């Protein structure tokens, strides 16, 4: 995997009060993290850890995860909810004169 492709992974750096350092994470590799005194060092550290993990995966014939930014999203997903919640949402949608799908989409984006 090229360095460019490694740049497509979703990295995040946040302050960790428990560790009194910056914590760097990669969404595609939730088990990996890196702590450092400076945010730039934390980001550099997690990028190296991810590069190592990807290299190990490839060496073992495994396929590294696709970066979230490169995945195709259909705009559809299924969710299971209790029947009473489904009923309440259906009634709310009917009261508003809109589809249940439109109501759920509006609630998810608000």
Residue by residue, pLDDT tens for the chain (110 residues) are 555 678 899 999 999 999 999 999 999 999 999 999 999 999 999 999 999 999 999 999 999 999 999 999 999 999 999 999 999 999 999 999 999 999 999 999 98
Please give the domain boundaries of the chain with CATH numbers for all domains. 3-70 (3.30.160), 73-110 (no CATH)
**Between the CA of residue 82 and those of 42, 43, 74, 87, what are the distances in Å?**
42, 41, 25, 9
**Whole-angstrom Cα distance, residue 92 to residue 52?**
51
């Amino acid at each position: 995997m090229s360095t460019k492709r490694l740049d497509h992974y979703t990295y995040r750096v946040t302050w960790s009060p428990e560790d009194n350092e910056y914590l760097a994470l990669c969404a595609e590799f939730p088990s990996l993290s890196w702590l450092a005194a400076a945010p730039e060092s934390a980001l550099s550290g997690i990028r190296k850890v991810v590069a190592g993990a990807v290299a190990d995966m490839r060496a073992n014939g495994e396929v590294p995860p696709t970066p979230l930014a490169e995945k195709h999203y259909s705009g559809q997903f299924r969710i299971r909810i209790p029947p009473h919640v489904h009923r309440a949402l259906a009634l709310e949608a009917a009261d508003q004169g809109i589809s249940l799908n439109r109501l759920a989409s509006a609630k998810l984006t608000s």
